[in-house]
């Protein structure tokens, strides 16, 4: 195992046995040549991809069949950590036997799942999840070279994080598959929001069409509604006493909202809860720490808080700053 994959020794226990094995014994490490392509009746494709955040690079070799566009062989060379080696090795294996079009649908989450020992246990520590993104991106590069097109035409349309090239679908999948509840967990699993942070919430140096706080609130709300398809969460909340409503709101703040704000040195305090004449539940909050007086707090953070409470408790909730 690569030394730079070890942090205090305890990180080793968070790797699956499949990952550990492929770190030391990759099945598809090596090169393919024009001679190999001729023997297999295909075309040689060589693509390179690098991750600026950690300095890792990978070179992918494909032999694509002349008649059917099936990837007949795949090998790689990786210059990076053990996790990148294991991820790219599995990615190369997953490409073999697929058409080029089918290979482009392989994601870093597919690679991570294939490396799991059990369905419910992640294959790599959260902070190393980004290593599999490089394997995902090099497939796009190889496909672009094979089709003789600009790789930009193959990129996901809905890119949430430009720094890490993370798509909306990737973030949504990571939240659902791993039951993520905080922005920090999203960054650990996908690297979205780990760099310039403009994609986390409004107020960064680059305006985005969609932010991680909104995605997290929406997907968490969908998950809660799927768990309660009859809407019992909302019905129960509206019929609770004011004391129990406050307790439920505090619980949601603790689980979903305060951890996200704490990552930027901010906080939030529940000030009051009132039933309005309009049939809505009006929740009044006060900001703490870095959130207090922040230019983005009125629009971005307030929207995040309201959408999260609506998704997890009741769509009748309206949030205001006290």
Tell me what pLDDT residue 311 has. Answer: 81
Percent of the chain with pLDDT over 90: 33
pLDDT tens digit string along 66-88?
Answer: 999 999 999 999 887 888 899 99
pLDDT band of residue 179 (cuts 50, 70, 90) is confident
pLDDT band of residue 229 (cuts 50, 70, 90) is low
Q: Would you call 131 a catalytic residue per the annotation?
A: yes
Given a cut of 80, is residue 131 above it in pLDDT? Answer: no
Per residue, what are the HEC states of 72-91? EEEEEEEECCHHHHHHHHHH
User: CB–CB of 252/237 below 8 Å?
Assistant: no
Given a cut of 90, is residue 142 above it in pLDDT? Answer: yes
Phi/psi at 292 (5° precision): -70, 120
246/270 Cα distance (integer angstroms): 8
> Does the fold of domain 215-321 match that of domain 3-155?
no
Beta-carbon contacts of 129 under 8 Å, excluding residues fewer than 6 positions away, are 108, 112, 188, 189, 190, 191
Tell me what pLDDT residue 237 has. Answer: 83
CATH assignment of 3-155, among 3.40.50.1240, 3.40.50.720, 3.90.1010.10, 3.40.50.10950: 3.90.1010.10
Whole-number mean pLDDT of the chain?
84
Tell me which CATH code domain 215-321 carries: 3.30.300.130
Determine whether 110 is exposed, middle or buried from the number of CB atoms within 10 Å of its CB (0-12, 13-18, 19+).
middle
Given a cut of 50, is residue 232 above it in pLDDT? Answer: no
Residues in the chain, overall count: 322
Q: Would you call 291 a catalytic residue per the annotation?
A: no
Domain locations in the chain? 3-155, 215-321
Active-site hit among 81, 95, 131, 161? 131
Q: Is the pTM of this model over 0.85?
A: no
């Amino acid at each position: 195992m690569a030394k730079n994959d070890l942090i205090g020794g305890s990180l080793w226990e968070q790797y699956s046995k499949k990952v550990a094995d492929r770190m030391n014994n990759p099945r598809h490490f090596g090169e393919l040549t024009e001679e190999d392509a001729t023997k297999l009746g295909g075309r040689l494709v060589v693509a390179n991809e690098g991750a600026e955040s950690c300095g890792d690079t990978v070179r992918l070799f494909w032999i694509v069949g002349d008649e059917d566009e099936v990837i007949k062989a795949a090998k790689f060379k990786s210059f990076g950590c053990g996790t990148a080696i294991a991820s790219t090795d599995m990615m190369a294996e997953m490409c073999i036997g697929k058409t080029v079009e089918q290979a482009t649908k392989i994601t870093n989450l597919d690679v991570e799942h294939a490396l799991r020992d059990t369905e419910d246990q992640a294959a790599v520590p959260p902070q190393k999840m980004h290593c599999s993104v490089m394997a995902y991106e090099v497939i796009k590069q190889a496909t672009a070279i094979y089709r003789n097109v600009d790789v930009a035409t193959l990129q996901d349309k809905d890119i949430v994080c430009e720094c890490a090239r993370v798509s909306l679908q990737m973030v949504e999948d990571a939240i659902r598959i791993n039951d993520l509840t905080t922005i920090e967990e999203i960054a650990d699993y996908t690297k979205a929001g780990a760099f310039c942070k403009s994609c986390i919430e409004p107020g960064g140096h680059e305006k985005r069409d969609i932010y991680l706080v909104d995605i997290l609130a929406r997907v968490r709300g969908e998950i809660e509604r799927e768990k309660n398809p009859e809407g019992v969460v909302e019905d129960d909340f509206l019929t609770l006493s004011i004391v129990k409503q406050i307790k439920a709101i505090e619980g949601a703040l603790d689980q979903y909202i305060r951890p996200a704000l704490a990552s930027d040195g901010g906080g939030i305090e529940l000030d009051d809860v009132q039933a309005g004449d309009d049939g809505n539940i009006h929740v009044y909050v006060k900001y703490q720490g870095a959130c207090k007086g922040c230019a983005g707090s009125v629009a971005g953070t307030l929207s995040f808080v309201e959408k999260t409470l609506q998704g997890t408790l009741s769509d009748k909730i309206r949030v205001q700053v006290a």
